Structures are given as structure tokens and as C-alpha cells.
Structure 1
Amino acid sequence: MTEILTPQDIARRTAAAAEAAVAAGRELGLTVTDARVLYELFSVVVHLAPSPVVARIPTVLSRHVSLDSLAHRQRAELDVARWLAGQGVPVIPPSPLVPAEPVRRDGFSMTFWQFVEEDRDKRTDYAANAAITADLHAALRTYPGELSFLSAVEPEFIEEGLATLAESPDLVDPADLDRARREWQVLAPLVRSRATFEERFPHIDLQPIHGDSPPANVFSGVDGDLYSDFELVTLGPVEWDLAQLGPELEAAYDQQARANGMRPLDEDVLRFVNAVGMLRIIAALTLVPQLPALRGYLTPTIEQWRTTAFAGGLAG
């Protein structure tokens, strides 16, 4: 059986991440006397009060992610967020009080962001967030930095995950794993090669995109909504940012995209990104030992996946 972290284990991990953030913040010259954890799931987010700085410390990571590769990803995130803020785009920016660089401390790699007070009374409107994702895409089109093609898919994560699950029958139904492995054989070439993707979808333009479901990563600040969490920023089709979100949110995006003079979402590419997104969800079962609550989020989606066309209907 796979060893599952207990609530006590997770509490110790959270405390260690928070302590590392406090120590790193003080070394950077911040006054930190009343730090508090604001949020924890895949990362621990700590307000280094009274300084107006938030540290984000990723704590639930797959085995293929090293501190070096994590820092590389974090540098891209910091650069994109800083650039967007400079363009006047509503985004949570890196903290101006410390260098915009990831900091390594006590086995963690962390980044520092400007503290923004949350509007806790506002209910999340995912359709509205999908619409403003089109505005984000419009802004990102001119981002000058270099980004890798579909790095947000993390093909190493999928491949490592499917291999690990073969040794963890308590985490996955063998029939599901067999289907996932066969689907990956179909989809992997389109993920790993920009040329192969463009040959299959010659009419689709590629651009910088958020990479991690921006409609779910709009922060409700007291002074307005802000884009956040660009940890998986990548070059790809805009459809990737709407993967697994369904017709209602797709329609909300399309309406705003047309208003911006941009193309609507492409049905063929949506099938592709939805199929790839499902394989990431299957692979995410390997993270359940680190984050047991994750199983409850993944199981309903996997059950729905069993009813869908093999590899999004792209195998033919």
C-alpha cells in the first residue's frame, strides 16, 4: 500500500515552509513579526506581516521536479507577472521590496509577492473570469520573453505518473491506467513537438498563455480582480487555458475574444487539450500520498472521463 501523509505530517510540512519563508524574508531585510498562513494546498502561502509581502512556497511536487527546475519555472512566472504589471494589466505583482528572484531556503524554493487584501465577501464568478481570460490573452500576445512550447503540460509528470501508478494499484483502476497509457501514446507527439502540433492544427496560432486555468486563478482583491499564479506560464494555444471548463465558460470566453478582435476557441484543439488535461489528472493521483484531500477532487472527473471518446477522438 502507498504511504499516505497524515494530517500531522502535513501540518509539520506547512510549519516548516512557513518558518523557511520567515527566515528568508528576514534575511532579505523584511520586518516579520506576525507571519500567518493564508492558504495551503499545492503551495503554502504566507503573509510576512507586518511587511506587505506574501511568500509562496510550493510543497506538493512530483518526483521529476528538482529545486533547480522549480526555480527556472518560478523565474518565468516572476518575469511575466512583472511585465504584465508594467503594462498596466491587473495582476498580483512581485514584491518591490525584495529582488524578483526565487529564494532557496531549508529545502524549499519560494517567491515573494505584493500583499493584496482579499475581498472575502465576493463570490467567484467563473463565467466572468473566463471572459477576462480573453483580455489576459490579448495582453500576453506581446510578451517579449522566451517560453517553451506547452511546458505547462509537464510531459515528464505524465510519463512519470503513469509509470508510478503501475506500481500503485491502490491509487488507480488498472483499466483506467491502461487507457491513459494508450491515450498518451496518441497525444504525446503533439505535446512534445511544436512542429507536430502545427502540422496537425495548421490554422492555430500559438502565443504566451497563463498555463494553469486562469478562470480559477483570478484573485478577488478589495480594489478589484487580479490575475495571479503564473507558475505554469507557457507558449501554446489559448484553448489550453480553458481545458476541462465546459461549454458555458467556453462561450463566455468566445464572446469576449470576439469583442477583442480575437478568434474564438477551436473545437478540435479543445478536444486535444481536454484529453491531455485528463491525463494530467490521472497522473495527479500520484500526488495523493502527499495531499490526501486531492483524491476527492480527482475521482468525479475520472469517472466522467470514462464516458468520453478515446484520446478526445484524435486517434483516428
Structure 2
Amino acid sequence: MTPEQLAHRTSRAVDAAVQGGRDFGLTVTEPRVLHDLFSVVVHLAPSPVVARVLTVVPQHADLDSLAGRQRVELDMVRWLADRGTPVVPPSLLIPAEPVRVDGFSMTFWQLVEEVKDREPDYVANAGLVPGLHAAMRDYPGELGFLSAAEPRFIDDGIAMLEQRPDLIDPADLERMRREWRVLEPIVRSRTMFEWKFPGIDVQPVHGDSPVANIFHGVGGDLYADFEMVTLGPVEWDMALLGPDCEAAYNCAAQRRGMRPLNEDVLSFVNAVGMLVAFASLALTPQLPLLVDAMRQLPEQWRSMPFAGSLAA
């Protein structure tokens, strides 16, 4: 997409968010974009409501599947908020359901004032993740096993990259294919995972790197962005974060009487995480900045064991 097309998409998303808010009786006169990457996040000022409008989505996703994912997110966050877990909560002024306007699916959240000019401290954030895992453990809703890995997304990513030699080295693409043949059966089957990693429990997890999704509110840190919530090992939430973050997680987990991260499972989720990252290049027509954002990825990947050593 050209810069003009990207700007037009953002403008459409803002207009849709405003319309969605007004349809529920909100006064919206000064909408302000807070964030614009995979979603356009809009403060519907002066109302204390923030709309999150999905704009960059996999080619296989339709409005029904997007709304289904958003519905699970809203249910999880409401459940956590009711139990006192510090989360960015859904808006109380709009029903906690996905809303469709002009081809977009969106959700509405309470406006929380953010601490300004605070640099993210991912190691410190990693120490907060065991608390989230403890809070999520008893969630009673139904979740798919490792749905956040999105096997269809990886399949489509490989197919797309076969047509885009400008985005990936042929040797790396071949490694993707070979690794996915090893990893896919474990990603798609809880039974296969439990056979491969005996004694490793699975539970509800955030699904989308909670270390990078801690919102620094003026009243304290809040867990946010549960769009990819899934059933899986706790290691999934620590994929590709490195030894410092892993150590911070383990320290906090030990204080809570929880198990430390398992090295074999970490190798597995790191390998899958890399394939998801490469598959994300399929989204570059919708989000061109991904090309530069992932420029260092191949070098890092080549230093990692093939398929997390699972093929050995």
C-alpha cells in the first residue's frame, strides 16, 4: 500500500470508530488516533472510550472469525477484571461485544491515562507475567490449543513468500518449509504436544507477548491486548525474549511457587515464533514497514537450532 492508501485506511477506520461510538449514544467531537499499526486505536473524545479497530489482518480472516477472536478477548478481560486482575477493561458505556462498521470489526475500551515518556522495560515486565499466568489459570471459557500460533497463517505465509523472492532468501524459505513439517503436528495437536513434552501443563495464556503489552497507566501497570489469548504452555508468552527476560520470569515464578520455564519447551516456542514472524512478511502489502522491522530476523534465526532441536 502507498502512504496515501495507508492514510486513507486510517481515516476510514477512524470514521468507522466514530460512527460505532455514536450508534451507542456517545458524544464524539474530537477523535484522536493513539496508535496505528495492526489496529487503529482511537480515543473517541470527549467520551472516555477508546476504540480498537482491526486493520491489518491475515488474508484468510473474515469478519466472523475476527469477531470470534475479539469476543473471546472481551470475555477473558471481563473475567480477569471481575477478579481484581489489573487489566485495561472494556468500556462500560458500550456492550462488551465486537461491533462492525464499514467492513471493520472493532471493540471498545475504557480510557486509561498513560504515564508519559516512560520507556518500556521488558525485563521488569517479564517479572509481571507469572502474576498474569496465575490469574488466568482458572479461566473457565473454551480456548483453542496454541491458536495464537495460527497454523493457517504460517501455511499462507510460506505460499506467499514462494512468490516474493525479494522478501526472503531461498535457503531461508526452504528451512521454513522443513521446520514447519517438524513443528506443525505439535502445534496442531495438544495430544502430540503432551506426548512430546510429558509433564508440561497447559493453561490459558496471553498469546501475544504480554511483556510487550503492559500498559503503564498513571494508577499502575495494566495487562492489555488479549486478542490472541490461547491455551498453551506458559513458555509461549516468553518466546524469543532472551535470557534476561527468562530469568526475570523464573525469579517471579519461584516467589509464587510456580514452575520455572522449561528449556525444551522454550526451544519449541522460539522455533514456532520465528516461523510466525517470517510468515508475517505476508502482511507487508498491508503494512510495508514490516520489511525493515524484520531485516535482522534471518541472522538471528540462522544462529538458532533447527526446529528447536526437535528433529534431532
- TM-score after normalising by structure 2: 0.99
**What is aligned with 1:231?**
227
* 2:286 aligns with one of 278, 287, 290: 290
Q: Deviations over 1:41-92 (max 9, x none)?
A: 0000000011100000111111011111000000000001111111101100
Rounded to whole Å, the distance in 1 between the matches of 2:246 and 2:182 is: 25
Identity of aligned pairs, percent?
Answer: 65
Q: 1:185 aligned to 164, 181, 185, which one?
A: 181
Name the structure 1 match of 2:79.
83
Partner of 2:124: 128
Q: List aligned pairs for 1:254-265, cutoff 5 A.
A: 254-265=250-261
| Residue 15 (1) aligns with residue 11 (2) | yes
2:16 and 2:63 mapped to 1: Cα distance?
15
Return the offset for 1:302: 2.3
Q: Partners in 2 of 1:98 and 1:308 — Cα distance?
A: 46
Shift in Å at residue 228 of structure 1?
0.2
**Cross-structure match for 1:58:** 54
**Counterpart mapping for 1:235-274 below 5 A:** 235-274=231-270
SS of residue paired to 1:38? strand
- d(CA) in 1 for partners of 2:286 and 2:167? 13
Q: Which runs of 5+ in 2 are unaligned?
A: none
Aligned twin of 1:281: 277
Q: Is the 8 A contact 1:17 1:108 kept in 2?
A: yes
Stretches of structure 1 lacking an aligned partner (at least 5 in a row): none
**Aligned 1:126-165 pairs, distance under 5 A:** 126-165=122-161
Q: Which amino acid aligns with 1:79?
A: D
More deviation, 119-128/93-102:
119-128
Please say which of residues 143-152 and 167-176 is displaced more in the overlay: 167-176
Alignment RMSD (CA, Å)? 0.7
Q: CA deviation at 1:140?
A: 0.4
* Residue 66 of structure 2: aligned partner: 70
Cα contact 1:171–1:286 (8 A) shared by 2: no
* Count of residues in Structure 1 that have an aligned counterpart in Structure 2: 312
Structure 2 counterpart of 1:34: 30
Deviation larger for 291-300 or 147-156: 291-300
- 1:304 paired to 2:297: no
- Kindly state the Cα deviation for residue 121 of structure 1 after the two structures are TM-superposed: 2.6
- Report the alpha carbon displacement of residue 298 of structure 1 after superposing the two structures with TM: 1.2
The two structures have a TM-score, normalised by structure 1, of: 0.97
Secondary structure at the counterpart of residue 118 of structure 1: coil
Per-residue CA deviation, residues 242-265 of structure 1 (Å, 9 max, x unaligned), is 000000000000000011110000
2:45 is paired with a residue of what secondary structure?
coil
CA distance in 2, matches of 1:82, 1:43: 21
